[in-house]
Amino acid sequence: MSAGFVDRQQVGRRFSKVAASYGEADFFVREVDRRMQERLDYVKIEPKRILDLGCSRGGSFPGLAARYPAAELIGLDVAPAMLDTGHVSRAGWQRWLGLGKASGPQRLAADAAKLPLKAKSAALVWSNLLLHWLDDPLPALAEAHRVLEVGGLLMFSTLGPDSLKELRTAFSDGYAHTQRFIDMHDLGDMLVGCGFADPVMDMEVITLTYDDLDALFAELRAAGSGCAMKARRHGLTGRGSLAGARAAYETMRRDGKLPVTFEVVYGHAWKTEAKQTPDGRAIVRFDPPRRK
């Protein structure tokens, strides 16, 4: 996959800018998080350490802490402002969760493709709606595999190709107006390529509705979710282009509302014992003879 599509500095700037008020605008992220957390009901795992990739203000922490109260939580995000404004001590959660442990999550400002963690140091890597902000998910998935212990679980969500399809259709000015979203089958292939076993991929479509295009733009801006592709328009959108987009979007109005599609992709996979070395040689294990 070619590199250089996503403006990573722009991603950091956008999320840093909205960090202080992000808790008022992240309802979609929290809803997907809730659906991800429900999927853990079917997973048997008792992790001692959990890594949350792209944790933003730590919105997934309360649910993970309630489910795994003995686990150490580590949150990683590219925007330090998100980590700072969302800093709520775990002691506070413990009071309303009825739990006794008072140690708080660690928060790290770092790149998901270059994790500052040792190999085999986490039992669960969790990532909610991060991967579509990366230029290429493969390095981040490979890093997740590296830091997972054998028997550890990766669970993630991201957005698929049909996300914001109405917005892409409405604009015809040659610029990117949404992120580049990767098909779930390609993500499944990446997981296998990284060494994960038994990847499970599925998706669902969530449709939100808005009164007008300005309401959609305002909500995307408030959530830091404007387009951060290098091929985006870097100046102001021309009046003609914007007027054309409004007119085109109006043709999609249904029951008085403008629809906005989000294809939410979910994936999970396990790290098992390696069957070959990085250079492709098979690993053969011999059990020592038992003493009589």
Burial of 239 (0-12, 13-18, 19+ CB in 10 A): exposed
Please determine, for residue 139, whether its predicted confidence score (pLDDT) is greater than 50: yes
Q: What percent of the chain has pLDDT above 90? A: 80
The DSSP letter of residue 86 is T
Which of these, 160, 105, 107, lies nearest to 129 by C-alpha position?
160
Q: In which domain, by residue range, is 65 found? A: 8-160+181-206+263-271
**Do the domain assignments include residue 283?**
no
Q: How many CA atoms lie within 13 A of 36 on its CB side?
A: 28
Q: Is residue 172 part of a domain?
A: no
pLDDT tens profile 214-234: 999 999 999 999 999 999 988
pLDDT average, residue stretch 84-99:
50
Q: Are 112 and 78 in contact (CB under 8 A)?
A: yes
Does residue 89 belong to any structural domain of this protein? yes
pLDDT confidence tier of residue 4, bands split at 50, 70 and 90? confident
- Count: domains in the chain: 1
Dihedral over alpha carbons 16, 112, 67, 150 (to 10 degrees):
-170
Task: Give the CATH number of the domain where residue 117 resides.
Answer: 3.40.50.150
Q: List, for residues 147-166, the tens digit of each pLDDT value.
A: 999 999 999 999 999 999 99
pTM of the model: 0.87
Establish if 70 belongs to a structural domain.
yes
The C-alpha torsion from 239 through 245 and 247 to 251, rounded to 10°, is 180
